[in-house]
Amino acid sequence: MGRSPCCDKEGVKKGPWTPEEDLMLVSYIQEHGPRNWKAAPTTTGLMRCSKSCRLRWTNYLRPGIKRGNFTEQEEKLIIHLQALLGNRWAAIASYLPERTDNDIKNYWNTHLKKKLLKNHNKIHNNCEVNELNKVDEEIITPNPQPTTISKGQWERRLQSDIDMAKQALHEALSLKNPSDHFSSLMMKVNPVTMTTSAATTTTSTSPYASNAENISRLLEDWMKHPSKKRAHTSFNSSESTCSEEGSNSLTLANNNKSPEELSLLLPSCGPSSASEIGEAPLMPLSFLETLFFEDGVWPSECSSSLN
């Protein structure tokens, strides 16, 4: 690559990670948690820079990452969110807890952009020049300031929505079984993200793979295809205990950034910090929708553009 390296240190390894390196990193995280990345290379003996370690963990090794094809529902959600939020991949990823921002970004750049462009051209060829085209154009090259709402308006509404979220959380905390009530609340405001969240919290099984499973699969794949340098192992599995899992039911709670409140809602066997369960959405999706669409319903044009 043409750029100067981010790490000046000599002897810093770059390029694809080996299973051995993954194991070293995972064992470090199991011991110290996903923090203090600066210490990770020195503690583990990895010849990688701290940034590289963090990226490897967040984009690949972290439990709960779903790999493989995106579902139609995920696709539509990404398109909608991209139209609303622009290229804020981390924010978009917070609504798809099983996907990383990098994955979403890649998927957008390699698949969705083309798909929408193709559809856009088809419409043009049919001489159907109408409002639909405007929507498609905005999706393909979104305006950083969404729609007609000014930045000031946007921030005020964001703040009021956060206040609403706080109130909902407060109500949830005042009940005996907060997680159940909270789940039902969240189901009301955000059925999309809660579909998997509720299942994760109410049962001992989950669609997520633990990092131990991640590693074992990686090794398995490595053994099967030793010549392959890239690890395409699918980590989308399987059964595991909640001790390894991240609960994603606390999407709303994290708006408050209160560790005490978070700890009340987290399962006792769950991760110890919000950062371990991945970034929570900025606000419930339904709130987001209402900011831009008066009736709280996604414009049908967006969905139809994928057909």
Residues contributing to the site for DNA (CB under 7 A) = 1-7, 13-17, 35-38, 48-52, 54-56, 59-60, 67, 87-91, 101-103, 105-107, 109-111, 114, 227-232, 275, 279
Q: ∠ at Cα 112 (106, 118), nearest 5°?
A: 140
Residue 56 or 76: the one with the smaller Cβ distance to DNA is 56
Angle of CA points 97, 65, 288, to nearest 5°: 15
Q: How far is the CB of 79 from DNA (least distance, A)?
A: 15
Three-state secondary-structure class, residue 249: coil
- Tokens for 232? 């395409």
- Shortest approach of DNA to residue 219 CB, angstroms? 15
Find the shortest distance in angstroms from Cβ 257 to DNA.
Answer: 8
Least spacing, CB of residue 246 vs DNA, in Å? 14
Q: Quick check: helix, strand or coil at residue 271?
A: coil
| Helices 285-292 and 151-173, axial angle in degrees (round to 10) | 150
Residue 194 — φ and ψ, nearest 5°? -80, -15
Please report the beta strands in 129-265, taking only residues with DSSP state E, as ranges in sequence order.
none
| Choice between 15 and 45, CB closer to DNA | 15
At how many degrees (to 10) do helices 285-292 and 72-85 cross? 50
| Residue placing its CB nearer to DNA in the complex, 51 or 188 | 51
Choice between 86 and 180, CB closer to DNA: 86
Q: How far apart are CA 21 and CA 78, in angstroms?
A: 32
Min separation Cβ 281 and DNA, Å: 11
- Return the number of the residue (224 or 229) whose C-beta is nearest DNA: 229
**Least distance from C-beta 156 to DNA, angstroms?**
18
Looking at the Cβ atoms of 182 and 235, the one nearer to DNA is 235
What is the closest distance, in whole angstroms, from the C-beta atom of residue 92 to DNA in the complex?
7
Spacing of C-alpha 18 from chain mean position: 24
Give the shortest CB-22-to-DNA separation in angstroms: 9
CB of 124 closer than 8 Å to CB of 133: yes
b/e for 88-102, b at 16 or more Cβ within 10 A? ebebbbbbbbbbbbe
Which of 263, 281, 260, 297 has its CA nearest to residue 94?
A: 281
Residue 36 or residue 300: which is nearer to DNA going by CB? Answer: 36
Looking at the Cβ atoms of 1 and 297, the one nearer to DNA is: 1
* DSSP designation for 60: I
